Amino acid sequence: MLKELLFLLLVVMDASSGSHNSWCDPGCDCRVDVRSTICSRAFLTQLPSRVSPNTKLLDLSDNHISVIPKRSFSKNHKLQVLLLQNNNISVVEDGGFSQLEFLSKLDLSWNRISTLTEGFSIGLAFLRELQLAHNLLTSLDSSSFLHLDGLQRLNLTSNSIHTIQVRTFSSMSSLRQLHLENNQLSSLRNGIFSILRSLEVLNLAGNRISETEIGIFKPLTSMSLLNLANNQLSTIYFKTFLSIQTYSTHILLEGNPWNCDCDLQRVFQKLRSIQRLFLDDYYNLTCKAPPVLQDYRLMEVDTELCIAETVTVLIITATVVITVLAAMLMGERMRKKEQKEKHWTQQCLVKLT
């Protein structure tokens, strides 16, 4: 009863004083009715001190906040959406987001975060979406996302990530989208995607990947889109893609420096015949090597790539056939000669006796 009265009082206060009540910092727009606090572009250098405990949406985007101190939101445990994009955040203290048990979306894109410690994700077990694009991350390991069991969408676009340790995503069995485009990845270790059974979108475009280990995509049994465009692939292994066990997966491979030889032609020919795989941008793949084929589309030359090889095979076959025939002829001649000699010897013997 007392609680309800208090709430009523709050509502009345809010209605009478507009957005400038005791729960609203200067520069913020506080809407008790819709439980949102909007402090976007308010020139804040630190977190506002008076956010209503009933707030579900807190928008702090486009400010100059640089630190998220420990237990910053301990009075705002009803928060569901927290927007912090476009600030100057470089430090998230351990437990900075703890006690946000209802938080489902956290946007930290366009900041200066360079490391994620274990304490970063404490208390975020129900987070569904984490935006971390355009930060300064360079490597990820098993502690980076340790407590994010419920995460469905992770956006790490445009960082400088060059290393992903094997157990980095090991708590995320619900993850559906993983965006890693525009980073510095050059190789992918077998096992880094091993738990991601729900993953539908894996975006690796714009990295430096030159090799893919054969079993790397095998665990991704829900993957419907694999984007490997704009990497450093010059060739691929058939088995890497054959091992994708899904109903249907679209694969993008444009913008790689393909080495257009007969092997590549064969791999693509086989891949294109697999019904569950769709090479959507096959018609846009261009050759980087050999030099005579540079900038040609693979599609335009693919029927000729194995011709040289076919000719070689034909020549070898012909040589073998001719050799065998010659040997047979020689053999036949020898046999006849021997027979003649035998005949002659026999006649001589007959004459002698």
> What is the binding site for ligand NAG (CB under 6 A)?
64, 66, 88, 90, 109, 131, 133-134, 155, 157, 177, 179, 254, 280-281, 284
Residue 288 beta carbon to ligand NAG: minimum distance, rounded to whole angstroms = 17
- Residue 323 to residues 314, 315, 316, 317, 343, Cα–Cα distance (Å): 14, 12, 11, 10, 30
How far apart, in whole angstroms, are the C-alpha atoms of residue 41 and residue 63?
5
How many Å apart are CA 86 and CA 126, to the nearest integer?
A: 24
Tally Cβ neighbours within 10 Å of residue 235: 16
**Helices first, then strands: H and E counts in the chain:** 5, 20
| Nearer Cβ to ligand NAG (30/156) | 156
Measure CA 180 to chain center: 5
Toward ligand NAG, which CB reaches closer, 54 or 66?
A: 66
8 A C-beta contact, residue 230 and residue 260: no
- Give min distance, CB of 132 to ligand NAG, in A: 8
> Which amino acid is present at 221?
T
User: CB atoms < 10 A from the CB of 44, how many?
Assistant: 19
Is the bond leading into 69 cis (omega within 30 degrees of zero)? Answer: no
The nearer residue to ligand NAG, 87 or 212, going by C-beta atoms, is: 87
Considering the complex, state which of residue 75 and residue 288 has its C-beta at the smaller distance from ligand NAG. 288
Minimum distance of ligand NAG from residue 84's CB (angstroms): 13
CB of 88 to ligand NAG, least distance (A): 4
Smallest distance, Å, CB 16 to ligand NAG? 36
Smallest distance from ligand NAG to CB 306, Å: 25
Nearer to ligand NAG, 174 or 187 (CB): 174
Question: Looking at beta carbons only, is 14 or 107 nearer to ligand NAG?
Answer: 107
- C-alpha span between 150 and 164 (Å, rounded): 20
Q: Encoding tokens for residue 234? A: 């010059």
